[in-house]
């Protein structure tokens, strides 16, 4: 199982040739792709009407991992660690990273610079 960050889905929406996307490559190697409920939200609010049908169809085939109390506890720890190290990242990235850590799922992202700051997070490169 691989947790997809929003950046992977945004690239998929933007590129005309879907076979040249990270999403396509991952779908060829992994049978179980999932997203955080945070990513589901991010894509939902940022989605253009032109992609609405495509997103609805795609999201029906992705497992959505909920952000629960355990994820929240992980997010607090990540936030405090990043704050102490003066390496803060976007809140949504903290929440998505916490979801991956809590469920012990590697994450695929195009935003390695931010997610690399989260200790113990396995990033698919």
Give the domain range for residue 26: 2-124
pLDDT tens figures, 81-103? 999 999 999 999 999 999 999 99
Residue 23 sits in a domain whose CATH number is: 3.40.50.1010
Whole-model pTM: value is 0.93
What token pair was written down for 104? 């012990």
| Residues 118 and 15: beta-carbon distance below 8 Å | no
pLDDT tier for residue 55 given thresholds of 50, 70 and 90: confident
Helix extents (H) in the chain: 6-14, 22-29, 37-46, 52-59, 69-84, 91-102, 112-115
pLDDT in tens, 57-83: 899 999 999 999 999 999 999 999 999
Please give the tally of structural domains in the chain. 1
């Amino acid at each position: 199982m691989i947790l997809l960050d929003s950046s992977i889905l945004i690239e998929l929406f933007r590129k005309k040739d879907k076979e040249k996307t990270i999403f396509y490559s991952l779908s060829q190697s992994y049978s179980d792709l999932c997203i955080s409920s945070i990513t589901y939200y991010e894509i939902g609010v940022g989605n253009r009407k032109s992609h609405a049908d495509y997103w609805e169809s795609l999201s029906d085939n992705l497992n959505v991992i909920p952000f629960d109390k355990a994820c929240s506890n992980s997010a607090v720890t990540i936030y405090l660690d990043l704050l102490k190290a003066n390496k803060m990242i976007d809140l949504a990235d903290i929440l998505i990273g916490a979801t991956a850590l809590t469920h012990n799922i590697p994450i695929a992202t195009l935003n390695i610079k931010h997610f690399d700051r989260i200790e113990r997070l396995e990033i698919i490169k």
